[in-house]
Amino acid sequence: MPARALSTATISFGLVSIPVKLFTTGESQATVSFNMLHQCGTRVKQQYWCPKDERVVPRDEIVKGYEFAKGQYVTFSDEELKALEANRSNHIEIVEFVPISTFDFVQIEKTYYLGADKGGDKAYRLLSEAMKAKDKVAVGRWAARGKEQLVIIRPYKDGLALHQLFYANEVRSFEEADDTATFTFSDKERDLAEKLIDQLSTHSFQPEKYKDDYADRVRAAVDQKVAGKEIVVSAEAPRAQIIDLFEALKKSLAEAKEPREGKDVARAVGDEAGFSGDDAAPVTPRPVKKAEPRKASSKKSSVG
């Protein structure tokens, strides 16, 4: 079933206009969510409470306010807020083209696929191929939902993708998070770290290998509860903490090798026993035969 367009828009630069359709890149229904219930099983409703009047406030008595100082607000009517909104034309104006290497992915807030709308196929494909050839992305302004969004349009596969961005003043500096000191590493530590990376490296990222295990566990638990079964929660085993960096790297490298080497040993044993592939029989140690106790001697000891 083909994806349904979320909205339509028009990309423009110079005298060129390209009608496009916007599609979401993900499906929110794939996640799990919970509702707030009373203990009796009824879903609760949200209410607004005024602590000054000490009563529940109906929606028709609620106005929007902006806090300009601590505890001080200016209020706006719906008409005043609507007058401040940007033009809802869904127009995407390309302001400039920049090298893709200068684009920082940390600014991405949302991503949409762009598809060509009626009459825009040729210009759409030409823009994609021209940006790909020049290794550039388009910086633009998107007037949508009453706000002016900062966006990046980039070539994606055989078409285009749109990234809605945070503005510069909305992005936190990395220095706020990175407050660690500088270190000098030994050659052995660097060598072990690089070997660990090599051990865990693959040729390309394959997102289909990964799944939301939490969502699967929740759905399985829901099925159990619907069937009237009790959920048994097992305590999580504590992870061993290794303080020494060199020892941690050695242990990580050994554990990364373990599954592959263990599987090879099991396969070799299975081949000897007539098994093949992953059906190799596990190695079972033979039971040790216990020594029988000696019988007591019938001779009596003499005391001289």
CATH number at 76 reads 2.40.290.10
Same-domain status, 5 and 132: yes
Q: For position 97, what pLDDT does the model report? A: 96
Residue 83 lies in a domain: yes
Residue 263 lies in a domain: yes
pLDDT by residue for the chain (304 residues), tens only, comes to 567 888 899 999 888 899 999 999 876 555 788 999 999 999 999 899 999 999 999 999 999 999 999 999 999 998 888 888 767 678 899 999 999 999 888 999 999 999 999 999 999 999 999 999 999 999 999 987 778 899 999 999 999 999 999 999 999 888 888 767 778 888 988 998 898 888 888 898 888 888 888 888 888 888 888 888 888 777 777 766 656 777 777 787 787 776 554 444 444 434 443 333 444 444 444 444 444 544 444 444 333 3
Same-domain status, 143 and 7: yes
Residue 63 lies in a domain: yes
The residue out of 141, 171, 201 marking a domain boundary is 171
Residue 143 lies in a domain: yes
Residue 208 lies in a domain: no
Contact 277, 267 (CB under 8 A): yes
Domain count, the chain: 2
Model's pTM, two decimal places? 0.65
Write out the residue range of the structural domain in which residue 258 sits: 185-192+248-275
Residue 222 lies in a domain: no
Same-domain status, 8 and 121: yes
Same-domain status, 4 and 119: yes
